[in-house]
Structure 1
Amino acid sequence: MRRAVLGAVAAVVTAGLGLVPLLVEHDLPLPVLRNDATWRTSSVLGPATLGGRLIDPLEENIWLADGTVPAAGARTRATAQALRDLRGLTQPNGAVAAGPDGPWAYAWPRDSAFVAAAYAETGHVADARRVLGFLSRVQRADGGFEARYRLDGSGPPDDRPRQSDGAGWVLWSLERVRTAGTGRTLPAELRALRDRAFGFVMAQTAAGTRLPEVSPDYWEVSEREVTLGTAAPLAAGLEAAAATYVAEGDVHRADRASRAARALRSLIRAQFGPDYQRHGHSGGLDAGVAMLMPPFAVVGDEAAERAWERYPVLAQREAGGLAPGVEWKSDGVSWTPETAMVAYTAAASGHPLVAEHWMTWLDRHCTTWGSLPEKVLPDGRPAGPAPLAWTAALVVLTETELAAQRSGVDASVPGVA
């Protein structure tokens, strides 16, 4: 989650959870920061970030026509807007701003990975490769990533802790881009990115025999224990890496990746199952359980699926969307990325009616100009930054899954056993 910088780094442990917030968040939900007419043409951060880039509607429509808008019926407008927003948030160098301004105007590897996948699966493969190219340039020597980066690629904006899940998400994204592009091998310029990320995940997990080091995850809070939101993406990344190595005929590394993925999945089941709470047997259910579902897992886990089914029931908020976790603060605010994550995994795991329910909710809670916000207030009003890249990408990917099912094509599972 993107926390507004309205104070210094917090040093007080959150009661009952053992969590140290990385950034102070205002007591009240943030208002929508930008409207369509404003964020697309200017920014308080200046031309180096999002400002000064007028968007030509004709050029934008030509770009949309070069790919596909996968939605059908009433949601077509919102999905097209989500794609436009992703394009607007993506810089010429491939950096993807998480949101239009302020503390969201940085590139998170996690968000970028999903945006690259959304580009590729809607026919914008060159844009996907550009986003992944940026990640390759900012990747650390050990194959991992910082929590976030300045949009000019000059490094992280602060000293917040690294987030280990980024390498897993990048490996997963690379496989989605490969299959959506040629379906054969990974583009040559992205193989070093893949190899370094693979090395990082293998080192973090000792080839799948241990959980990764403690790291913040998408909650953007300091942690004292490994979270499911950190461990699960690394397992997904190992499975994806196995698929890309198989496609290239690299039998040795494909076997190493596959064996490590199986070992890590087994360890996650032992440490987090059968209830799959955030910290294993504490912390409550959160959206990390969705990261154990297709399309992030080749083989489903029945216990994880039962936990996934419980999470939205327990985490639902007044306006009908979801909190990041069952033990998230009780402020009544719904968060769109977690809601969209449930929709995406529902679509990919054979629950299209569940996916349709959440996609309809998201569509009904867009801003007046059609962008997807980060939050929805208890009374149903959008809040936080809008658009939000991660939510927009997840909506596009979910619609792609649903469209593939309507056409009789299974688009959810990478081609590796």
Structure 2
Amino acid sequence: MPGDDARTTGRRRASRAVGPALLAVGAILAAVLPVGVQVGAARPAAAADAPAAGAPTTPYAVLPLFQEGVAIGPDGAVVAVPAGTRPAFLDGTRVLDPELTNFGAVLDGGEVEHGTREAHRLADAQLAWLAAGSVPGAGGPFEDLSRTALLDLHTLLLPGGAMVAGWEDRWRYVWPRDAAFVAVAFARTGHVDDALEVLDFLARAQHDDGGFEARYLPDGSGPPDDRTAQTDGQGWAMWAAGLVLAELPPGPVRTVVAARLAPLVARAVDGTTSLLTTTGLPPASPDYWERDEDELTLGTVAPLVAGLEQAVTVLAEAGDVERAERARASALTVRTATVETFGAAGFTRYADGADHDAAAAFVLAPFWQRPATGGRAAWLASAEAMRRPVGLAPAGEWRQDGVTWTPQTSLYAWVAAEQGDHARTLELLSAIDSHRTLTGSVPEKVLADGRPAAVAPLTWSAACALLALDALDP
């Protein structure tokens, strides 16, 4: 997953076993730390995150928080807010207040020419951007979560549509999957132009054969390393294109946007169909776990079904009827093969029935247009297997280190909302809302004692939280 260089400490496919090793980023405690750490909007971590008196203790991982969030300096540059720092923002924005902010603390000891007039101009622009769309959950208990998530996404959308996963160096890349989710979140909150910029970046980065690298440098010059390309990327790109287009009413503008999206989608359709074997499935590929695989995973094929289904609408609207029909036929082929191969085992990560992971969510709405038979039961089983002290882990067999991952927690909140399971949605959103950083950002991880950890904000998590709240809105 984005920036998680420790991802290979999980079970390797060849071994079928999970070691008890914990992350070695920080010290490993013999018990959960006392609660009371200030998080989110100066809220203490919930007491329920601590073990009951007399309960047996378990070693849990301790990871650092790399930053509290991101900010915009008076010169317009994006800057990280160091861990432990609570900066002053101009009201309702991510723009640092030049009158109140200690720039030496925020800018690693540096100084800026902080003109008040320019800072207010930047703040007015960000407020105008917010006002041009909607804030899901406005007027409810999660309005602050929603508003700050939107501000973080807006701040991390770089020129040219580069939607970086985070601002810490190891996350300052564009992952096609993360960017696709953000594009959908932008579109559903009334920012279709921003969504299209994000998809335009993916179209420029896309290979001629329709495929994508695991991640890209934000300047669009290519991948930062030699990670294996990921087949799910073309599925996510097609899926996002269809959902973004769906936010536009029928008419000339929708047709023009479909034509804009058509090259991206057409290449992805052609590339996906060329990969399919006689089984109706593609070869094994890395998926959201971002490690090489020698067996096909649900996390690769389920997004391809979702993408091909959405490609039909985009291509038909753009007038490419022949390719739209090819996408429809391919979607049915891959869907049928996926259900036959993974469904009997309960839509687990691999077709042999072992290991529930978050890909179980991808066979339901808002991904597949018709939920897979048995998909809901599989999703519920995966949620139980993935449960951690605060939220969810990426998989049931993931490291038992007490760490909650907000991408999967917020993803399951969105899927729950789409299934009409509002109680589960509220439970998962509450877990995210009450464990934010000092700036209100959603971190990638939450420790067993409730402290936020790793990068903040993580744009995939922010996007899914927004989409969950949007699905809850009447």
Q: 1:29 Cα deviation (Å)?
A: 4.6
CA deviations over 1:370-413 (Å, ceiling 9, x no partner): 1111011011111110000101111111111111xx2xxxxxxx
Structure 1 residues 203 and 296, CA, compared in 2 at 3 Å: closer, same or farther? same
Q: How many corresponding residue pairs?
A: 391
Pick the aligned partner of 1:285 from 329, 332, 356. Answer: 356
Write the letter of the residue equivalent to 1:145: F
Alpha-carbon distance in structure 1 between the residues aligned to 2:156 and 2:137: 21
Q: 1:316 Cα deviation (Å)?
A: 0.5
Structure 1 residues 5 and 83, CA, compared in 2 at 3 Å: closer, same or farther? same
Alpha-carbon distance in structure 1 between the residues aligned to 2:332 and 2:70: 49
1:398 matched to 2:398? no
Pick the aligned partner of 2:338 from 263, 268, 277. Answer: 268
1:355 matched to 2:425? yes
CA deviations over 1:243-279 (Å, ceiling 9, x no partner): 2233345443332222221221111111111311111
Q: CA RMSD in A?
A: 2.7
CA deviations over 1:298-335 (Å, ceiling 9, x no partner): 1112311101011111210122x001001111111110
Write the letter of the residue equivalent to 2:2: R
Is the CA contact 2:265–2:315 (under 8 Å) kept in the aligned structure 1? no
1:125 matched to 2:196? no
Q: 1:345 Cα deviation (Å)?
A: 1.2
Structure 1 residues 282 and 6, CA, compared in 2 at 3 Å: closer, same or farther? closer
Alpha-carbon distance in structure 1 between the residues aligned to 2:72 and 2:456: 9
Is the CA contact 1:39–1:100 (under 8 Å) kept in the aligned structure 2? no
Q: How does 1:189-268 map to 2 (within 5 A)?
A: 189-206=260-277, 209-268=279-338
**Percent of pairs identical after alignment?**
41
1:59 matched to 2:125? yes
Structure-1 residue corresponding to 2:85: none
Structure 1 residues 369 and 281, CA, compared in 2 at 3 Å: closer, same or farther? same
CA deviations over 1:125-145 (Å, ceiling 9, x no partner): 111111111111111110110
Pick the aligned partner of 2:442 from 372, 375, 381. Answer: 372
Is the CA contact 1:209–1:260 (under 8 Å) kept in the aligned structure 2? no
Structure-2 residue corresponding to 1:42: 79
Is the CA contact 2:25–2:64 (under 8 Å) kept in the aligned structure 1? no
Write the letter of the residue equivalent to 2:66: L
Alpha-carbon distance in structure 2 between the residues aligned to 1:363 and 1:322: 14
Structure-2 residue corresponding to 1:26: 25
Structure-1 residue corresponding to 2:174: 107
Structure-1 residue corresponding to 2:401: 331
Structure 1 residues 238 and 14, CA, compared in 2 at 3 Å: closer, same or farther? closer
Structure 1 residues 236 and 83, CA, compared in 2 at 3 Å: closer, same or farther? same
Structure-2 residue corresponding to 1:2: 2
Alpha-carbon distance in structure 1 between the residues aligned to 2:420 and 2:316: 26
Alpha-carbon distance in structure 2 between the residues aligned to 1:232 and 1:316: 22
CA deviations over 1:102-157 (Å, ceiling 9, x no partner): 21000000011111111111111111111111111111110110000001001000
Alpha-carbon distance in structure 2 between the residues aligned to 1:36 and 1:2: 16
Structure 1 residues 341 and 37, CA, compared in 2 at 3 Å: closer, same or farther? closer
Is the CA contact 2:70–2:167 (under 8 Å) kept in the aligned structure 1? no
Is the CA contact 1:228–1:277 (under 8 Å) kept in the aligned structure 2? yes
Alpha-carbon distance in structure 2 between the residues aligned to 1:5 and 1:294: 30
Larger Rg: 2
Alpha-carbon distance in structure 2 between the residues aligned to 1:245 and 1:85: 32
Alpha-carbon distance in structure 2 between the residues aligned to 1:107 and 1:30: 24
Is the CA contact 1:89–1:97 (under 8 Å) kept in the aligned structure 2? yes
Unpaired runs of 5+ residues, structure 2, are 27-60, 82-106
Q: 1:282 Cα deviation (Å)?
A: 4.2
Structure 1 residues 148 and 366, CA, compared in 2 at 3 Å: closer, same or farther? same
Alpha-carbon distance in structure 2 between the residues aligned to 1:157 and 1:134: 16
- If the length of structure 1 is used for normalisation, what is the TM-score? 0.87
Write the letter of the residue equivalent to 1:33: F
Structure-2 residue corresponding to 1:316: 387
CA deviations over 1:226-251 (Å, ceiling 9, x no partner): 11111100000010011223334544
Alpha-carbon distance in structure 1 between the residues aligned to 2:296 and 2:269: 20
Structure 1 residues 359 and 4, CA, compared in 2 at 3 Å: closer, same or farther? closer
Structure-2 residue corresponding to 1:382: 452
Q: How does 1:125-164 map to 2 (within 5 A)?
A: 125-164=192-231
- If the length of structure 2 is used for normalisation, what is the TM-score? 0.77
